[in-house]
Amino acid sequence: MAGATVASSNFSRRCISDLPCRRPSRPRPAFSIIRSQFSAAPLSNPRLILYRRPRERPLVAGSGGNGDDGIGNTGGGGGGGEDGDSNRRNKTEAFLALAEIGRSLESLPSDLAAAIDAGRIPGSIVHRFAELEKSPVFRWLLQFGGFKERLLADDLFLTKVAIECGVGIFTKTAAEWERRREKFVKELDFVFADVVMALIADFMLVWLPAPTVSLRPPLAFTAGPISKFFYSCPDNAFQVALAGTSYSLLQRVGAIVRNGSKLFVVGTGASLIGTGITNALINMRKAFDKDFAGEAEDVPIISTSVAYGVYMAVSSNLRYQILAGVIEQRILEPMLHSQKLLLSASCFVVRTGNTFLGSLMWVDYARWTGIQKIRD
């Protein structure tokens, strides 16, 4: 009887061992908690990041959602679907980056903090902000709107401003000599006006078409449809969109129109200043040189200013949009990202060539429109 009991027990164990072992299934938690453990130094304001796991979905060929790296993306950048997942990923990455650098959300500028909380800023931008703050000059400039958006998008923005303004006076004078040659001295008043106009406009030609990181809050609900449309356009028609943001083809065209209108105002204003100074100098020279008084003519202020404004809105606008958004951000930056010195040198070369080309085109345009006549 005892043997039968042992055999029965062995049989039971064998049967049980032959059965597949299954653990009781537990529901997958809807939320996960990530603790900030990426910095050796404790945070001044430790926080827990609570985020909802994105639902798993099959990948569909041709679907985007991680931002717009192309020019023809027609996505609007919303809060649902793939864009919503990108926003959640951005927010998680940004908070993890804050933990790594030992900063709290409250220690950041209000506009940057709001953009991070909305999921519009990836972790890479947070790290760039921390790197820029190490420099006293950049830390001071980051306090001002406009500079902050451009420096976060391109840490070489100030270098490009210096390049543009530094070489502007030399390349534009050389271009004037190339086009005028033996008439250079006789047309010196035209040369002076052109150089003054160019130097005033050079800064704006770097500023307006520069790619930016959008930190602007949503426009008021009562704003008109035209205002909302241009408000949603990028600053550069060809700039790469961050993850969670996309621009339609119409919005990119709108960026060219909006910047063109601004450059028309800038060009007209710069020309008014340049031609005004030139006419003042001509009149002063007439008072002391009677021979010069018979030869010199005042520069037409209104026609020259309007013509220069149109030139800035069309030629300069398109050239600098392509330069900043395509050549620099899409070609040079990916190739030379880790070689800042070589990248700066490459930007110097292409911007010098673009400035010289623009000066040549302006002289031809001014003669074609009749605002600057060829003197015998």
Q: Tell me: do 140 and 177 sit in the same domain.
A: no
- 79-134 pLDDT, tens digit per residue, is 445 667 888 999 999 999 999 999 999 999 999 999 999 999 999 999 999 999 99
Select from 102, 124, 150 the last residue of a domain.
150
The domain boundary residue, chosen from 104, 122, 150 = 150
> Do 142 and 187 share a domain, yes or no?
no
Q: Does some domain include residue 22? A: no
pLDDT number for residue 170: 81
Same domain, 101 and 131: yes
Q: Are residues 327 and 205 in the same domain?
A: yes
Compute the distance between CA of residue 241 and CA of residue 228 in angstroms, rounded to an integer.
19
Distances (CA, A) of 256 to 56, 148, 162, 315: 39, 22, 24, 11
Last residue of a domain, one of 118, 150, 182: 150
pLDDT, averaged across the chain: 78
Give Cα separations from 61 to 70, 76, 82, 83, 242 (angstroms): 16, 19, 13, 16, 21
**Distance from C-alpha of 209 to C-alpha of 239, rounded to nearest angstrom:** 9
Tell me, yes or no, whether 350 lies in a domain.
yes
**Nearest to 150, CA basis, from 89, 215, 105, 100:** 215
Residue range 220-255, pLDDT digits in tens: 777 889 999 999 999 999 999 988 788 999 999 999
User: Does the residue 190 lie in any domain?
Assistant: yes
In a domain, 113, yes or no: yes
Q: Which helix (H) or strand (E) holds 197?
A: helix 188-207
Tell me which residue range forms the domain holding 197: 154-369
State whether 198 and 321 are in the same domain: yes
- For residue 273, is pLDDT > 50? yes
Q: Are residues 146 and 159 in the same domain?
A: no
Q: Is residue 4 in a domain?
A: no
- For residue 367, name the pLDDT band (cuts at 50, 70, 90): confident
**Total number of domains in the chain:** 2
- Domain match, 131 and 221 both: no
Residues 6 or more apart from 343 whose CB is under 8 A from it?
A: 156, 332, 333, 336, 337
- pLDDT over 70 at 3, yes or no: no
Both 134 and 158 in a single domain?
A: no
H or E element at residue 50: strand 48-52
pLDDT band at residue 349 under the 50/70/90 scheme: very high
